[in-house]
Amino acid sequence: MDLYKSTAHELHEKLVKKEISSVELTYNVYDRIAEVEKDVKAYVTLDKENALAQAAKVDKMIAAGEAIAPLAGIPGAIKDNISTKGLRTTCSSKMLENLNPIYDAHVIEKLRADETIFLGKTNLDEFAMGSTTETSYFGTSHNPWNLDLVPGGSSGGSAAAIAAGEAIWSLGSDTGGSIRQPASFTGCVGIKPTYGRVSRYGCVAFASSLDQIGPITKDVTDAATVLNTICGVDAHDSTSLPVEVPDFTKALKQDVKGLKIGLPKEYFGKGLDPKVDAILKKAIADYEAMGAEIVEVSLPHTEYAVITYYIIAPAEASANLARFDGVRYGYRNMKATSAPEMTTASRTEGFGSEVKRRIMLGTYVLSSGYYDAYYLKAMQVRTLIRKDFEEAFKQCDLLLTPTSPVVAYPIDGKMDPLAIYMLDVCTIPVNLAGLPGISVPAGFADGLPVGMQLIGKLLDEETILRAAYTFEQAHDYHKVMAPLGGK
């Protein structure tokens, strides 16, 4: 049986009814990994032995008649910048090639408490800095829809694993689009929760005021299910919000009647691939036919979002990555003869060029004399961007935009970094404003998946989940399997 093709909610039913065992399921997914991983390269590390032991434990629980959580016994994959006790966590960097964490991230603790299964750790752009996985020290992951193309990034490994059937559910992290953009490029569902919904404890910090962990899954129901497990306040993260976590699966109603969907006109202009535009126009017409009301809105500061982000994110990264000095942990150059020489050599050799570019940029914008001109100014623009959304939400319940202005592009490492940065234009403003955003499959352009982004008000994941679910159920885009073609 091809169990690896199923969703978590389908498999949960089968486990509870004892139609399948968790061990059987886990073997089935590892068999699939053995079959396709050489082409996809979604994983940095696999953990088969522990995964199978955990599966056997869940099977015993079921046999004993114990009630199990929705993700119990269902194998998932974890982005390799999320700390897993005893399981190597590299951030796809030479710097942390041999790091074995001594503690679990908060989300991992919660998932373990629900008796889920971790297949392994997935590839990412080094320290989550990038949009393609090409900056990974371990090599690029490939897009299961066409292996010559990037799967997106930085959570490209998590997205590729889902699209290729190498995991049932996965976790990514999103600082400027790293969950939603790879979900869009690979035909998956990816949600970045409201900033503070999920604890960042144990997610290796890139830009702390923007980072947020979230699920990448095959459908909206699974996204809501994973969200139910990972959300919640945590004493280890003072920015995690002490608010009640609803049961997100209850929001999954097939009904958008009366919902007001705003289309920010700035997101449908120059630079948008006409094929992506055509698919979104059709999705908008579908929503209208299903009873939603469409209104045009404006987010006037959108054009400043990318440059604002590329000041704030590197500034925070330069501070966060200062801890990797070859002293406490991480790669160390053993030939240096003095402490300063050792730090310099360790950082020079341990980090890749994109990470170094960001550290230098971040150090520059924070340096005395430039702080006011760059960092402070960027923080002021961030406030304007947040206010744009507040104004827009006075006229609608949610916003609909492309997730990315383009579909997946070739793996060749030739793209100018600046050109890649510009493609983050649809996802970055959502992080700057701290809002929840989901990417759902909206159709195909020349056989490649196109994602639609729905943006919600603060802490209103429920409305975007409901709208995403309604669209998904009216189409079968999420059911099409990636062909693993190309090459």
Burial 169-185 (b: 16+ CB within 10 A, else e): bbbbbbbbbbbbbbbbb
Question: Applying CB under 6 A, which of residues 6, 131, 403, 404 lies at the interface with ligand GLN?
Answer: 131
Give the gyration radius of the chain's Cα atoms.
Answer: 21
- Least separation in angstroms between CB 430 and ligand GLN: 10
Between residues 219 and 424, which has the closer beta carbon with respect to ligand GLN? Answer: 424
Q: What are phi and psi of 187, to 5 degrees?
A: 75, 30
- Residue 96 in 3-state DSSP? helix
- Least separation in angstroms between CB 175 and ligand GLN: 4
When CB distances to ligand GLN are compared, the closest residue is 178
Question: Applying CB under 6 A, which of residues 28, 178, 186, 403 lies at the interface with ligand GLN?
Answer: 178
Interface map 370-409 toward ligand GLN (x if CB under 6 A): ----------------------------------------
- Least separation in angstroms between CB 69 and ligand GLN: 28
Say if residue 154 is preceded by a cis peptide, omega within 30 of 0. Answer: yes
- Least separation in angstroms between CB 327 and ligand GLN: 26
Interior angle at CA 363, CA 357 and CA 364, nearest 5: 90
Residue with tokens 């196109």: 450
Candidates 127-135, 156-164, 252-260, 458-466 — which segment interacts with ligand GLN by CB under 6 A? 127-135
- Residue 410 in 3-state DSSP? strand
- Residue 117 in 3-state DSSP? strand
Candidates 22-30, 45-53, 124-132, 466-474 — which segment interacts with ligand GLN by CB under 6 A? 124-132
Residue 351 forms beta bridges with which residues?
A: none
Question: Applying CB under 6 A, which of residues 23, 44, 117, 129 lies at the interface with ligand GLN?
Answer: 129
Cα(106)–Cα(385) distance, rounded to whole angstroms? 30
Catalytic residue among 83, 141, 158, 178: 178
- Least separation in angstroms between CB 350 and ligand GLN: 19
* Residue 4 near residue 12, CB atoms below 8 Å: no
Catalytic residue among 6, 21, 41, 79: 79
46's enclosing H/E stretch is strand 43-46
Candidates 30-38, 176-184, 380-388, 442-450 — which segment interacts with ligand GLN by CB under 6 A? 176-184
Would you give the DSSP letter of residue 372?
A: I
Give yes or no: 178 in active site: yes
Question: Hey, which residues between 450 and 469 contact ligand GLN (CB under 6 A)?
Answer: none
Residue with tokens 């900033």: 195
Does 174 contact ligand GLN by CB under 6 A?
Answer: yes
Candidates 85-93, 123-131, 250-258, 283-291 — which segment interacts with ligand GLN by CB under 6 A? 123-131
Q: Which residues lie below 8 Å from residue 34, measured CB to CB, with a gap of 6+? A: none
Q: How far is CA 48 from CA 27, 34, 52, in A?
A: 9, 11, 6
Number of residues that bind ligand GLN (CB under 6 A): 13
Does 424 contact ligand GLN by CB under 6 A?
Answer: yes
Cα(398)–Cα(216) distance, rounded to whole angstroms? 21
Cα(433)–Cα(308) distance, rounded to whole angstroms? 12
Interface map 182-221 toward ligand GLN (x if CB under 6 A): ------------------------x---------------
Cα(25)–Cα(33) distance, rounded to whole angstroms? 13
Candidates 34-42, 156-164, 174-182, 329-337 — which segment interacts with ligand GLN by CB under 6 A? 174-182
Give yes or no: 79 in active site: yes
Cα(203)–Cα(107) distance, rounded to whole angstroms? 9
Question: Hey, which residues between 290 and 319 contact ligand GLN (CB under 6 A)?
Answer: 313
Between residues 137 and 206, which has the closer beta carbon with respect to ligand GLN? Answer: 206
Question: Applying CB under 6 A, which of residues 73, 75, 76, 130 lies at the interface with ligand GLN?
Answer: 130
- Polymer length in residues for the chain: 487
> Which residue in 212, 210, 206 sits closest to 129, CA to CA?
206
> Which residue in 398, 62, 463 sits closest to 224, CA to CA?
463
Question: Applying CB under 6 A, which of residues 73, 120, 151, 176 lies at the interface with ligand GLN?
Answer: 176
Catalytic residue among 83, 93, 154, 346: 154
Strand ranges in 64-212 using DSSP code E only, listed in sequence order: 75-79, 117-122, 169-173, 189-192
Question: Applying CB under 6 A, which of residues 73, 76, 177, 437 lies at the interface with ligand GLN?
Answer: 177
Question: Applying CB under 6 A, which of residues 36, 105, 128, 160 lies at the interface with ligand GLN?
Answer: 128
Catalytically active residues, by annotation: 79, 154, 178
Q: Contact residues for ligand GLN (CB under 6 A)?
A: 128-131, 154, 174-178, 206, 313, 424
